[in-house]
Structure 1
């Protein structure tokens, strides 16, 4: 166990279901088993910039409501790279040393960072510069963190997307329409293909597999010829136009965001007079709500394992789920490559075996 007595924990990047159960597991294991202090850092690394740092002591008695609570009690942010931090005048400055100083003010012996590949990569860079003892826990609804089969938040997002397809099927059939469900997936199509299979989609479009509008329309027409008067399409937000152009929009703060592929598909289908279409963009509904039992289990397993790694003084490691058990890998290996949907993998073969159109 070494001389570890006081550990920090933060959540970074986009929120998702399962973060609070993960925090709960860390606190219960660290406090009740090892007798350590756990300090929750608020608003991710931004909390370290405040003087004093924005942080709170976490106690087991606070943890009971967290098992079913969505989001993160610590708050989070996916903005403000410490090494190119945006200032009010629009300039970017390096504030990494300010964050490292905040960590030192808290007197931490180690830090557990819960984040996606981008967040964990930044935390690792800070840890190397500041000589922090870091352990990572993967979370992302996109499930694209390398070398882990599951990340916190993915299962709940799939459940929500599947439920959306279940609901949309009835209205699509009632009005003889094609309904397009656009789901999240910044780089990978894991949500789309998993929910598409589970929710009975007729067409699944993911960024890993190219498609043509003509083939999409042909599938819809084929179904119509067989008396199937409606079709369900699920598409990941990162899917590009048939010509390969990304679909993005700029929000009121000047941020460039993915979105619009559902509307693009709708317009292309309608312009060919194939069917009447409607589009549902699921958006942040996928991030929120009560975590599924699977995300609670993954969060619990990851939280306990992360604390145990600290006790064993195994740092610069990320916990992973592989072959039905928790393991750990060097963070460098985990962030080296993101995990896309394998075009030759089991889910793709399953979808095609069911007659679902996935692309060419």
Structure 2
């Protein structure tokens, strides 16, 4: 029986999003004869309009290797707390009833929500309001529970690793400490895995509060061995023991979401001061999200997209696809967003890095 299904991409952009869209369209349109409707700009497209685009086989042709998302996305469009400007002030309003009404108006029988923690939390609540939802987990941060890996993570690690390879030569040429700030919010997966792959000397992550004196001691030991440069990788959510995260904007200033950033400059300044050593900061920022997805991310995203269609066919709503080992499983969305997947400070990856001589400033 023919169906109409809708799909949106929410939250920050991520390598592999277009591969998911392609997987969904190929599995739904070509294999089952269904119709796929794309929602533009995440949940914003259901708050306003609705704003939709037809996703047929021609619409997804040639997008497998493209970064970003052809549907657009938004990380501010929470329909349960939507920013509305009135009388010169911005207040947060619950417009979820309008979203449900707009979803029903497009004639779709199910919604595939592709996104991270925030997007899936919204999807779960919409499912409770009667919108049949299937979730597809996405984030470069790799911090979603119940899935071993999220697509986008592999590409981000590759990008950071390549940057570290390039920075080694300039750091060594000038006898500098180079502090590289990477994304990850409250989980240090990108910093840890790219730091190991890229030969970092110090890795600072949110899961292990750091002592600046111990960071400087680790760099000093390298200098005494004749290595007069160091590479320090710091996750944006890392913070000193007894201190707090460095923010660009607090939650009140940014519609309920903290905007991290600046810890790299803080650490570099402290290194310069305590060691009388020239240091520089490199903030990789959104370059980690952009560009061509890796082969691993293309494959995983394609698998997730195809499985999402199969879940709709089975009526497996209120759940998300996930990777467990090398196999796909489905999990309750509520379980997937119950907390963040963070690094175990006593885990094998930390032990490996320590044996390699990497300092965590602890």
TM-score normalized by the length of structure 1: 0.96
Instruction: Work out the CA distance in 2 between the residues paired with 1:330 and 1:93.
Output: 27
Instruction: Work out the CA distance in 2 between the residues paired with 1:334 and 1:309.
Output: 16
Instruction: Work out the CA distance in 2 between the residues paired with 1:243 and 1:263.
Output: 19
| 8 A contact 1:241–1:264 mirrored in 2 | no
Q: How far did 1:32 drift?
A: 1.0
Instruction: Work out the CA distance in 2 between the residues paired with 1:329 and 1:257.
Output: 29
Q: Following superposition of structure 1 onto structure 2, how do residues 216-295 of structure 1 map, counting pairs within 5 Å? A: 216-250=215-249, 254-255=253-254, 256-295=258-297
Counterpart in the other structure of 1:326? 328
Is the partner of 1:83 in helix, strand or coil? Answer: coil
Choose 322-331 or 270-279, whichever is displaced more. 270-279
Q: How far did 1:274 drift?
A: 4.2
Unpaired runs of 5+ in structure 2? none
Partner residue of 2:51 out of 51, 54, 64: 54
Q: Following superposition of structure 1 onto structure 2, how do residues 349-360 of structure 1 map, counting pairs within 5 Å? A: 349-360=351-362
Q: Deviations over 1:93-126 (max 9, x none)?
A: 2100011111000111111100001110111101
Q: Following superposition of structure 1 onto structure 2, how do residues 296-307 of structure 1 map, counting pairs within 5 Å? A: 296-307=298-309
Does residue 88 of structure 2 align to residue 88 of structure 1? no
Does residue 123 of structure 2 align to residue 123 of structure 1? yes
Q: How far did 1:271 drift?
A: 1.1
Q: How far did 1:307 drift?
A: 0.6
Unpaired runs of 5+ in structure 1? none
Q: How far did 1:276 drift?
A: 1.0
Instruction: Work out the CA distance in 2 between the residues paired with 1:211 and 1:86.
Output: 36
Aligned alpha-carbon RMSD (Å): 1.4
Q: Deviations over 1:181-226 (max 9, x none)?
A: 0000111000000100000000001000122111111111110111
Is the partner of 1:356 in helix, strand or coil? Answer: coil
Q: How far did 1:64 drift?
A: 2.4
Instruction: Work out the CA distance in 2 between the residues paired with 1:211 and 1:93.
Output: 39
Instruction: Work out the CA distance in 2 between the residues paired with 1:139 and 1:116.
Output: 5
Does residue 109 of structure 2 align to residue 109 of structure 1? yes
Counterpart in the other structure of 2:22? 24
Is the partner of 2:85 in helix, strand or coil? Answer: coil
Is the partner of 1:181 in helix, strand or coil? Answer: strand
| 8 A contact 2:216–2:275 mirrored in 1 | no
Instruction: Work out the CA distance in 2 between the residues paired with 1:250 and 1:133.
Output: 35
Is the partner of 2:135 in helix, strand or coil? Answer: strand
Counterpart in the other structure of 2:187? 188
| 8 A contact 1:204–1:357 mirrored in 2 | yes
Q: Deviations over 1:221-241 (max 9, x none)?
A: 110111111110000000113
Instruction: Work out the CA distance in 2 between the residues paired with 1:358 and 1:261.
Output: 15
Instruction: Work out the CA distance in 2 between the residues paired with 1:274 and 1:236.
Output: 24
